[in-house]
């Protein structure tokens, strides 16, 4: 299978390296930055494992889709705010039989991709693996967890099973769901509880549950999101959302969340697509989301004041 991974961030590099290292598929990484693409192509992707050991994977990297051509599978790993732009950039990767899998944070990405390429091609997905980008083409695999994929129409197709097997072989133990909307919301709620708090406190995931203040804010943010999910009649994958978020914190204890990585690197975050999404949903339903609104405003202030902060 010819596979293109789109996005050279922590998760994109981890997935591309894992596929290249553990499968016999034809793997490409798409990175729009030509200099960075050339560097990764020449030096490969270096992966540090959470427990011990490391490896380097050779991956073919291209700066534009025309250098890759139509693929059997396209895996989108870019930030949510870049989804619209990426859909325009990857048209040459998408042929008549191409499947497009999104493993992004937040909600709304699936619909954007469907609007560009049609529902038959699009597969939604989440992965709770922890990955930290240390440098260009250098990633730390900070923890393993579940990966779930599924079609928006709930159909269990042959290509879904093929993708499931390939990802599992690459080290991403993968399940298939008939209700990917519930999966995406379940992952959103995990991110709601973790990402903004790590970005504000600059703590790794595992320490959020060690302090009373962050523990209580985590619970409150999650409770607001769960109330909205219930109002929308979305059935979550777990019976105890707070316990689930806390267990993810512990399973990825050493992980530096993607939002904290963005803050540390003074980059734009995905706050509008995570806690900010809960705020928008709440307003649309006439529901209060005071904690998520506060977290969103704090992260947006951090972003806006990168050049003024006393501690860099």
Q: Quick check: is 187 in a domain?
A: yes
Domain shared by 6 and 101, yes or no: yes
Q: Determine contact, residues 13/29, Cβ cutoff 8 Å.
A: yes
Asked whether residue 31 falls in the same domain as residue 148, the answer is yes
Number of domains in the chain: 2
Whether residue 139 sits in one domain with residue 12: yes
pLDDT tens-digit profile of 21-73? 999 999 999 999 999 999 999 999 999 987 778 999 999 999 999 999 999 99
Domain boundary among 122, 153, 177: 177
Question: Quick one: pLDDT band at residue 311, thresholds 50, 70, 90?
Answer: low
Q: Does residue 159 share a domain with residue 11? A: yes
pLDDT beyond 90 at 145 = no
CB 188 within 8 A of CB 270: no
pTM, whole model, 2 decimals? 0.91
Q: What is the DSSP letter of 93?
A: G
Pairing of strands 122-127, 147-151: antiparallel
- Asked whether 31 and 40 are in contact (CB, 8 A), the reply is yes
b (16+ CB within 10 A) / e for 155-165: eeeebbeebbe
Looking at residue 238, its pLDDT comes to 92
Tell how many helices (H) and how many strands (E) occur in the chain: 11, 12
Residues belonging to the chain: 312
What are 190-224's pLDDT values in tens digits? 999 999 999 999 999 999 999 999 999 999 999 99
């Amino acid at each position: 299978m010819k596979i293109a991974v789109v996005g050279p961030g922590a998760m994109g590099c981890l997935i591309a390296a894992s596929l290249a290292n553990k499968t016999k598929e034809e793997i490409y990484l798409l990175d729009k930055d030509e200099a960075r693409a050339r560097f990764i192509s020449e030096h490969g992707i270096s992966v540090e494992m959470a427990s011990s050991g490391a490896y380097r994977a050779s991956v073919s990297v291209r700066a534009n889709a025309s250098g890759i051509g139509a693929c059997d599978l396209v895996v989108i790993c870019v930030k949510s705010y870049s989804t619209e732009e990426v859909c325009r950039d990857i048209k040459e990767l998408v042929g008549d039989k191409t499947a497009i899998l999104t493993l992004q944070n937040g909600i709304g990405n699936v619909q954007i991709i469907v609007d560009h390429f049609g529902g038959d091609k699009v597969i939604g997905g989440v992965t709770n693996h922890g990955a930290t980008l240390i440098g260009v083409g250098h990633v730390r695999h900070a923890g393993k967890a579940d990966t779930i994929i599924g079609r928006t129409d709930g159909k269990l197709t042959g290509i879904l099973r093929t993708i499931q097997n390939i990802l599992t072989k690459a080290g991403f133990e993968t399940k298939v769901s008939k209700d990917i909307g519930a999966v995406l919301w379940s992952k959103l709620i995990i991110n709601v509880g973790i990402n903004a708090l790590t970005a504000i406190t600059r703590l790794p995931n595992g320490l959020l549950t060690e302090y009373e203040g962050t523990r209580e804010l985590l619970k409150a943010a999650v409770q607001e999101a769960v109330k909205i999910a219930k109002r929308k009649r979305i059935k979550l994958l777990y019976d105890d959302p707070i316990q689930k978020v806390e267990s993810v914190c512990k399973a990825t204890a050493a992980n530096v969340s993607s939002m904290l990585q963005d803050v540390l690197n003074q980059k734009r975050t995905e706050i509008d697509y995570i806690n900010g999404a809960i705020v928008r949903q709440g307003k649309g339903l006439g529901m209060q989301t005071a904690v998520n609104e506060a977290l969103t405003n704090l992260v947006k202030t951090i972003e806006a004041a990168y050049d003024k902060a006393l501690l860099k």
